[in-house]
């Protein structure tokens, strides 16, 4: 029996690519360049499975094909807002993701961003590398204490809970949580967290706010100028979720006029393009979408994709089906 034909849209860890090649007839994207809509339309007529990532824009232009051969998008990552789920479902295409395996590493990165912003680490490194440091002095790059402060978490799923665990048990932080659905009392109790009824209720109470909610149209510009105005003038905003969750122009204004203390972003709206209004702010820490960028997480994500593919082609319901 012929092996299913599988297209991998970007380079993956070598161990995962090797395993895919053992199990399937695999086409790798060896030059690692993003695919265009016309590339996806052509691929959907040739491959049984396409393995996209967050960088792949699988909207209507990419999916405009009659009777595709592709039967599954096995997504490499948790978020799938880059896929037009309704159109893909209408074509009979199953969509899966990779939950669980990157929660700890993404929470580690969110903590990194929070500490960098609070302690002005990015500014300090730039000063050193530019040869501008003149030595220790009492008023130099004075930041904000993290321990014992209040952290608001928007999106109390797996990653949000891991962030709460690090903040509460590692830094003694008070945890407030906003989630679309009720969080089980025993889950809240793990970090002595309090669930609040709305984002508007959460923001004014927090020294730090960390975003861990889904992206997509429902949460686009969830943090806009009005909500930035609800934050304390010395509070910090952290985003490792999706770039579109923040109105970046409004954030740039809040940083410029110092209506919030600072921000730290690992994700951007329209990445890899960065809003030029953000580039010039010293009070903003920026990293290039590194949330899951550990060898352990990236390999585990790939092997989770393989689990879903094996389930699907064996006629079983994939464990991580999202549509």
What positions carry a catalytic annotation?
A: 242, 271, 289
Contact in structure between 54 and 77 (CB atoms under 8 Å): yes
Q: Which helix (H) or strand (E) holds 286?
A: strand 284-286
The C-alpha atoms of residue 56 and residue 293 are separated, in whole angstroms, by 18
- CA distances 59 to 10, 55, 62, 85, 103, Å, are 18, 12, 6, 9, 26
Specify the length of the chain in residues.
323
Contact in structure between 37 and 16 (CB atoms under 8 Å): no
**The dihedral sign for the CA sequence 184, 81, 44, 5:** negative
Which of 262, 219, 206 has its CA nearest to residue 237?
262
- CA distances 203 to 151, 160, 227, 230, 234, Å, are 10, 16, 8, 6, 12
The C-alpha atoms of residue 173 and residue 151 are separated, in whole angstroms, by 6
**The dihedral sign for the CA sequence 213, 172, 191, 229:** negative
**The dihedral sign for the CA sequence 209, 289, 12, 43:** positive
Quick count: other Cβ atoms within 10 Å of Cβ 65?
15
Quick count: other Cβ atoms within 10 Å of Cβ 137?
7
What one-character DSSP code corresponds to residue 51? Answer: E
Encode burial over 142-166: b for 16+ CB neighbours within 10 A, e otherwise: ebbebeebbbbbbbbbbbbbbbbbb
């Amino acid at each position: 029996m012929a092996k299913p034909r599988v297209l991998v849209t970007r380079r993956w860890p070598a161990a995962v690519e090797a395993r895919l090649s053992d199990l399937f007839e695999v086409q790798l994207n060896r030059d690692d360049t993003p695919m265009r809509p016309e590339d996806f339309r052509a691929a959907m007529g040739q491959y049984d499975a396409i393995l996209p990532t967050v960088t792949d824009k699988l909207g209507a232009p990419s999916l405009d094909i009659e009777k595709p051969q592709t039967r599954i998008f096995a997504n490499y990552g948790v978020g799938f807002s880059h896929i037009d789920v309704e159109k893909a479902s209408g074509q009979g295409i199953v969509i899966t993701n990779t939950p669980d395996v990157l929660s700890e590493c993404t929470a580690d990165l969110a903590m990194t961003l929070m500490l960098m912003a609070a302690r002005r680490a990015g500014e300090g490194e730039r000063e050193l590398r530019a040869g501008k440091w003149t030595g220790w002095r009492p008023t130099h790059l004075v930041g904000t204490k993290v321990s014992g402060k209040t952290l608001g978490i928007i999106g109390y799923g797996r990653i949000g809970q891991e962030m709460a665990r690090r903040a509460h048990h590692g830094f003694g932080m008070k945890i407030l949580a906003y989630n679309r659905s009720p969080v089980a009392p025993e889950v809240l109790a793990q970090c002595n967290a309090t669930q609040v009824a709305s984002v508007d209720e959460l923001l004014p109470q927090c020294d730090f706010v960390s975003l861990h909610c889904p992206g997509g149209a429902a949460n686009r510009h969830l943090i806009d100028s009005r909500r930035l105005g609800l934050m304390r003038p010395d509070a910090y905003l952290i985003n490792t979720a999706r770039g579109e969750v923040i109105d970046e122009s409004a954030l740039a204004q809040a940083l410029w006029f110092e209506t919030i203390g600072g921000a730290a972003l690992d994700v951007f709206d329209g990445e890899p393009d960065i809003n030029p209004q953000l580039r010039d702010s010293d009070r903003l820490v920026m990293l290039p979408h590194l949330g899951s960028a550990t060898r352990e997480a990236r390999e585990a994500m790939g092997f989770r994709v393989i689990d879903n593919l094996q389930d699907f082609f064996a006629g079983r319901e994939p464990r991580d089906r999202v549509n």
